[in-house]
Structure 1
Amino acid sequence: AAGAGGRASRFEQRLEELAAYREQWGHAAPPLGTPLGRWAYAQRGRKAKGALSAERVAALEALGFGWEHPLDAEAAGGDAEALFEAMVARLEAFREENGHCAVKKKHNADPALGYWVNDMRIAKRERRLPAAQQAALEAMGFEWEARRQCGSAFMVGFRELCEYRDANDSIDVEAAAAREGAMEQEVRLAAWARAQRAARAKGLLSDKRVAFLEGIGFEW
């Protein structure tokens, strides 16, 4: 319930953030390296100790919240750098066995590795992955898009827009394309951006693709 003065409690605020996260990403398991992920981890711990009320348990479960996250055991030590190094070692073992780093999110042989790889992809997309960690992963041949997604025309355009953003610190390709002497890439990306807006206006752009674009600051 809201506290004095009608202000929402910290739990309610986080619950709203979790609902928004679920709306954007399609699940209620935020990455552990984020404030929301750490809060989710804490709720699992509170429930395990019997310290989470039935009302709050029900509110979380209504969002599809899971009480076990594959990365919980690895995160228990609280050392983010050690966790990264440990997961990189597991990824290296996967690469040695399979010849690539394209771990599926639902990797039955090592569920934690699958979730961690997905978390790294999201962290890079949201520009919160430390440069040193990104470089270490790229040196291994890390794939920033899941293989089942990366070949679509949308993902080709999306990746190019992300690369443009990283190089220019902006995704306003339409303004860039309108300038005299605009680069061919800017003109091409501007047309692609307009196509995405038109597709969304017609209800033809999936929620997942909308989430991808909004995750990098795309404006409609």
Structure 2
Amino acid sequence: GGWVKTLRGERKRAERGEQTRLTPERVRELEGMDFVWSLKESPPGGPEEMWFQRYEELRAFKAKNGHAIVPNRHKENPQLGTWVKSMRYEYKKFKDNDGKRTCMTPERKKLLDELGFVWALKSEELVGQELWMKRYGELKEYKEKNGDCKVSKGLGTLGNWVVTQRAQRKKMMKGKPSEMTEERIKLLDEIDFTWMMRERKHETEIWQERCAELQEFRRKYGHCRIPERYPGNPKLGHWCTNIRRNLLQGEHST
């Protein structure tokens, strides 16, 4: 009655940034017990029905996104993001077995595991598939921002992970031991993962290309005196300078 109403009022004050006695830890504990913050948002039935409704929402999220890593502030379904976060907190209490009340059970954990639920989000705590799915989520975000999956190797952890995926797939195709699986390939293909980056051109190809550009320059201007910093074709300018330098070094060595 009155206590529940007070808690809802405290939560609203916290959301407005006002001073409140409701701490983040208490919020997590209440959400772990499926506390209903707004009667307008509460699904019919009790805590059991509410838990399974959120579970079905998580199943739908995975079917759409290919993973079960729901952002804490999920715009499409804020309640789902909050629920997923609270499940991690409830699992910690369940695992620690310190006598604290929790809604987590072995059966519920098994159901969440079947969806590939990620129990920890800190990279140092993640291993195997959980860590892979976290990086996959980061790659999806990268694609949404940049329009492709061509992450530079120099882009820290994600760049190294992308390079590793290509290497692991090569091993798999050669029949060697690999961490790559058909399921992972499918997930990466769904976001148009770039399996083959453009290979560097062979020296002969580069030579032929520059020679053709030099001939075009001579036809147009009547000479081959291209400066090193040639705005019209910087690569050609550097190439010609290197040719002259190599010829001069050869003359001095004879």
Q: TM-score, structure 1 length as denominator?
A: 0.39
Structure of higher RCO (CA pairs closer than 8 Å, 6+ residues apart): 1
TM-score, normalising length: structure 2:
0.35
